[in-house]
Amino acid sequence: MTAEELKRLYFDFFTARGHTLIQGASLIPQEDSTILFTPAGMQPLVPYLLGEKHPAGNRLVDVQKCIRTGDIEEVGDSSHLTFFEMLGNWSLGDYFKRESIQWSFEFLTGREWLGFSPERLHVTVFAGDGQAPPDEEAAALWEEVGVPGDRIYFLGREDNWWGPTGATGPCGPDTEMFIDTGRPACGPECRPGCGCGKYFEVWNDVFMEYRKTALGEYVPMGNRNVDTGMGVARTVAMINGCDSIFDIPQFRPLFGFLKKLSGTGDEPSGDARRSLRIISDHIRTATHVLGDDQGIPPSNLDRGYVLRRLIRLAVRHGRKLGIDEPFTHRLAELVIETESGDYPELARNRNFVMKELEQEEERFEETLQSGLREFEKLLPNLSRNPSRTIPGRVAFKLYDTYGFPVEFTAELASEHGLSVDMDGYTKAFDRHRELSRQGSEGKFKGGLADNSEMVTKLHTATHLLHQALREVLGDHVEQKGSNITEKRLRFDFSHPDAMTDSEIRLVEEKVNGIIKADLPIVCQEKVLEDALEEGAIGLFRNRYGDMVKVYRIGDFSMEICGGPHVSRTGELGGFRIISEKSSSRGVRRIRAVLE
């Protein structure tokens, strides 16, 4: 059975039982700023689970694209994916536990449906705790349809309670369905959910009868709902008798392409198999993020950062397999070809997907080369270290300044008989994260988080941005404030209206044109009045003394400034505006990055 066939069967089963087939939502949540991606089928339907009337009625069925970033580190085993499809049937104040459990059993075991042997079915229910009672009703209903008591397990909140996707919202006990794979038990305590692989979860029914409040209390809801979730890949794997979700038909073209490109052969080793799985999952995920109609490009912030991380991890594992040529866009082509029938947005946005993957792979290659050159410069001193250990702060500097992954540093170190102080690296990373957090709270000196290389580049870019805004919007534009971290610049400026898309593009083009021209940046000390008479922009005059530093960028820009700058514009890289919005009355705010 293919994923497409499973979805069709599921839709047929539930539409025959009064459910309306609805369209799944975007991967990018539109109304919930607390999450980066849609993590579950219920998330787009939260307003209706809380009582709002759905235009399609109170019985619904759908398939939802989901991403769970918390599973990134687990990808590579037999059962975890970052991107997955979740089938769901929904009762909004209509049927509840009885119908839900009866239909679940019928769809899983019925010969005209999935046809699993009832003897292979094991289920779990909520054991209860101080906040909610045990779900004896669900257990009794499972016995009623034919599941014996010794295959019904009462588990705690961690296993059988579905919480809200955010801090508050609808929630409740769930019952989960597992298929016995036939593998031997891991021990006398082996049970569904133990992780040994004997029991494979395919479906859960969530009985939403509570609402979690901001105070952490669980309040019974007047409108009881059912939210179910059947993982498409997991279920197809079980139907086809696969040992791994990566053995299902959806992944075969991706694995075939990668095996041919890397020369790993039909039976790759354990490490190679793990790399093949990670690459396939991550590029499939990246393709769906970029191909979504709300698609976003890779960046150093939020969703864009997760996307960048996935792509670069895939490239890194490609290198482990010996793939030295650009390949991610070719893999994405296969994803689009095989999945655009169900997700036509992939075909609509194909050009964007291809362009962004190609550019990101080029950027990462530049990052790797820069980091490699720096490592080679450091190597003679590192080799003289009696401990033969690269200090964690050095490994972190390679990552922070050059974007060089610590895993690459460890591999290079090993090749030269060295090791990396990973504890020291982690401490340096945590210190950096804390400084970034403080920086995001406004604890900056002159708008700068520090004088690091990236902050210096972004600070220089604000000069180019300022002048470009004046040329595009007019001389009324004046800087009203800035805030710069190593991740991005934030620039406030006077302007009465929101910028149009064409104005934003023109500003970007002007800045990137000056960067490409590789103009020199010259600093001169001048008397304040002389600098102003020569045309230097000086906006915060009460901060200046009699003598000031004037930074001239070719014939493009001249500003009074005391902050750090690069020596030539060509050092900055690509400039991109990621947002433009109101800061206060008459003041706009731009966030931008260098890539």
Reported as a pLDDT band with limits 50, 70 and 90, residue 515 is very high
Q: Are residues 294 and 416 in the same domain?
A: no
Q: Are residues 171 and 208 in contact, defined by beta-carbon separation less than 8 angstroms? A: yes
Residue whose tokens read 């534009």? 477
Q: Report if residue 307 sits inside a domain.
A: yes
User: How far from 342 is each of 20, 36, 347, CA to CA, in Å?
Assistant: 18, 23, 10
Reported as a pLDDT band with limits 50, 70 and 90, residue 547 is low
Identify the CA nearest to 310 among candidates 75, 66, 486: 75
Reported as a pLDDT band with limits 50, 70 and 90, residue 440 is very low
Q: Report if residue 356 sits inside a domain.
A: no
pLDDT for residue 165 = 54
The answer to whether residue 562 scores a pLDDT higher than 90 is no
The answer to whether residue 439 scores a pLDDT higher than 50 is no
Reduced to 3 states (helix: H, G, I; strand: E, B; else coil), residue 177 is strand
Q: Are residues 289 and 38 in contact, defined by beta-carbon separation less than 8 angstroms? A: no
Q: Are residues 404 and 484 in the same domain?
A: no
Q: Please state, for a pLDDT cut of 70, what percent of the chain lies above it.
A: 93
Dihedral of the CA atoms 355, 356, 361, 367 (nearest 10)?
Answer: 130
Q: Are residues 271 and 153 in the same domain?
A: no
Count up the domains in the chain and report the number. 4
List 212's β-bridge partners, or say none: 169, 218
Q: Report if residue 370 sits inside a domain.
A: no
Q: Are residues 490 and 482 in contact, defined by beta-carbon separation less than 8 angstroms? A: yes
Give me the CATH number covering residue 551. Answer: 3.30.980.10
Summary mean pLDDT of the chain: 88
Alpha helix ranges (H) inside 486-568: 501-517, 528-533
Reported as a pLDDT band with limits 50, 70 and 90, residue 541 is very low
Alpha helix ranges (H) inside 264-383: 270-291, 302-320, 328-339, 345-348, 350-383
Question: pLDDT tens for residues 355-378?
Answer: 999 999 998 888 888 888 899 999
Q: Report if residue 376 sits inside a domain.
A: no
Question: pLDDT tens for residues 380-406?
Answer: 988 888 889 999 999 988 887 777 878
Q: Are residues 208 and 223 in contact, defined by beta-carbon separation less than 8 angstroms? A: no
Identify the CA nearest to 487 among candidates 304, 345, 314, 352: 304
Q: Are residues 237 and 257 in the same domain?
A: no
Reported as a pLDDT band with limits 50, 70 and 90, residue 441 is very low
Q: Report if residue 445 sits inside a domain.
A: no
State which residues form the domain around 489: 453-594
Q: Report if residue 566 sits inside a domain.
A: yes
Phi-psi region of 206 (alpha: psi -120 to 50; beta: other; left: phi over 0): beta
The number of CA neighbours under 13 Å toward the Cβ of 353 is 29
pLDDT for residue 136 = 97
pLDDT for residue 423 = 93
What average pLDDT score do residues 470-497 get? 89
Q: Report if residue 469 sits inside a domain.
A: yes
Q: Which helix or strand (DSSP H or E) is residue 408 part of?
A: helix 406-415
Question: pLDDT tens for residues 312-348?
Answer: 889 989 988 999 899 999 999 999 999 999 999 999 9
Question: pLDDT tens for residues 62-77?
Answer: 999 999 887 777 888 8
What average pLDDT score do residues 293-318 get? 85
**Which range scores top for mean pLDDT: 466-475, 549-558, 581-590?**
466-475
Q: Are residues 486 and 400 in contact, defined by beta-carbon separation less than 8 angstroms? A: yes
**Distance separating alpha carbons of residues 591 and 576, to the nearest angstrom:** 9
Q: Which of 227, 244, 261 is the last residue of a domain?
A: 244
For residue 567 the two structure tokens come to 């020596």
Q: Are residues 125 and 132 in contact, defined by beta-carbon separation less than 8 angstroms? A: no
Q: Are residues 238 and 175 in the same domain?
A: yes
Q: Are residues 115 and 228 in the same domain?
A: yes
Q: Are residues 289 and 389 in the same domain?
A: no
Q: Are residues 565 and 580 in the same domain?
A: yes
Phi-psi region of 163 (alpha: psi -120 to 50; beta: other; left: phi over 0): beta
Question: pLDDT tens for residues 78-116?
Answer: 888 999 999 999 999 999 999 999 999 999 999 999 999
DSSP classification of residue 499: P
Q: Which of 400, 418, 440 is the last residue of a domain?
A: 440
Q: Are residues 161 and 265 in the same domain?
A: no
Give me the CATH number covering residue 42. Answer: 3.30.930.10
pTM flag (> 0.85) = no
Identify the CA nearest to 220 among candidates 173, 151, 256: 173
Residue 215, C-beta contacts closer than 8 angstroms, at least 6 positions apart: none
* β strands within 403-520, DSSP E: 419-420, 479-484, 489-494
Q: Are residues 128 and 262 in the same domain?
A: no
What average pLDDT score do residues 579-583 get? 87
Reduced to 3 states (helix: H, G, I; strand: E, B; else coil), residue 53 is coil
The answer to whether residue 262 scores a pLDDT higher than 80 is yes
Q: Are residues 40 and 287 in contact, defined by beta-carbon separation less than 8 angstroms? A: no
Q: Report if residue 326 sits inside a domain.
A: yes
Complete edge-to-edge strand list for the sheet that includes strand 547-553: 521-527, 547-553, 557-560
The answer to whether residue 543 scores a pLDDT higher than 60 is no
Q: Are residues 420 and 505 in the same domain?
A: no
Q: Which of 409, 440, 471 is the last residue of a domain?
A: 440
What average pLDDT score do residues 196-214 get? 89
Residue 365, C-beta contacts closer than 8 angstroms, at least 6 positions apart: none
For the chain, the first-to-last Cα distance in angstroms comes to 44
pLDDT for residue 486 = 81
Question: Sign of the CA dihedral 439, 445, 448, 451?
Answer: negative
Q: Are residues 137 and 155 in the same domain?
A: yes
